């Protein structure tokens, strides 16, 4: 009788030990699977979002001068963080004051914008283009913070001047040439051309949207792409 009880107890003890071992093994396997999945996911995310290599610098696009004057790095408007370029984001400055041209907005970025997260990559008027922040760095122009796949995180911001003494139609043509150059340089489809409105809902570029001319502008960019 005592011998039979000991056998049953030993069997139960071995069962509990084997059960614990099986559970520990299962936990270890699950941990390995989770770790591998996380590593693969991280690798895929990095590959898909690897920072874009910066294009070669240019001094002109067609006959439009491009003036490179980068704002200081490691500031609020230019943190210097590189990212993958996915969009070209079109804006209008909303500044209808006299002499509010590209040079004036460049001066603003260098002297008055440093206390806030407000910046963009290019300003275009009817005569020239100012290049403020490298294309492959984050800037704060789309009103969507640092949302993944957002305008700030992945978009090149272009501001078009609307000052009254400038030729707005020429500014549009200059911007179309710049946008086409950037789309081609970074191997982006025409669908990557976006409005500020697409990211934050702000009615911008205001004149283009108010006059129902966004599709016309996209057609201008497409024509420039075909001409190259």
Name the band, by pLDDT with cuts 50, 70 and 90, for residue 72. very high
Q: Is the pLDDT of residue 9 over 90?
A: no
Give the model's pLDDT for residue 23.
Answer: 72
What CA–CA distance (Å, rounded) separates 78 from 113?
10
CATH code, residues 60-227? 3.40.80.10
Q: Is the pLDDT of residue 35 over 50?
A: yes
Q: Is the pLDDT of residue 44 over 80?
A: no
What CA–CA distance (Å, rounded) separates 64 from 55?
18
What are the beta bridge partners of residue 61? 64
Q: Contact, 204 vs 148, CB < 8 A?
A: no
Listed by start position, the domains of the chain span: 1-48, 60-227
Give the model's pLDDT for residue 15.
Answer: 64
- What is the per-residue pLDDT across 86-109, written as a single tens digit (0 to 9) for each? 999 999 999 999 999 999 999 999
Q: Is the pLDDT of residue 47 over 60?
A: no
**Which residue carries 């039979």 as its tokens?**
4
Give the model's pLDDT for residue 8.
Answer: 61
Give the model's pLDDT for residue 221.
Answer: 98
**pTM of this structure:** 0.80
> Which tokens sit at 142?
């789309």
Cis, peptide link before residue 205, omega less than 30° from 0: yes
Q: Is the pLDDT of residue 14 over 70?
A: no
């Amino acid at each position: 009788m005592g011998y039979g009880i000991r056998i049953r107890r030993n069997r139960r003890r071995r069962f509990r030990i084997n059960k614990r071992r099986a559970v520990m093994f299962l936990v270890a396997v699950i941990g390995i699977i989770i770790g591998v999945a996380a590593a693969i996911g991280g690798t895929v995310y990095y590959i898909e979002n690897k920072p874009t290599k910066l294009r070669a610098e240019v001094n002109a696009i067609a006959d439009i001068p491009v003036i490179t004057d980068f704002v200081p790095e490691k500031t609020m408007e230019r943190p210097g963080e590189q990212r993958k370029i996915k969009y070209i984001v079109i804006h209008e400055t909303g500044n209808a004051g006299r002499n509010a041209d590209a040079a004036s907005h460049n001066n603003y970025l260098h002297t008055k914008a440093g206390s806030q997260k407000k910046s963009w990559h290019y300003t275009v008027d009817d005569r020239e283009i100012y290049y403020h922040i490298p294309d492959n760095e984050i800037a704060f122009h789309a009103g969507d913070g640092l949302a993944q796949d957002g305008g700030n995180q992945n978009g090149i911001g272009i501001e078009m001047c609307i000052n009254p003494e400038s030729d707005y139609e020429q500014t549009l043509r200059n911007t179309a040439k710049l946008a086409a150059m950037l789309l081609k340089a970074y191997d982006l489809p025409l669908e990557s051309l976006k409005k500020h409105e697409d990211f934050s809902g702000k009615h911008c570029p205001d004149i283009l949207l108010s006059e129902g001319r966004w599709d016309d502008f996209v057609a201008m960019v497409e024509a420039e792409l075909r001409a190259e």
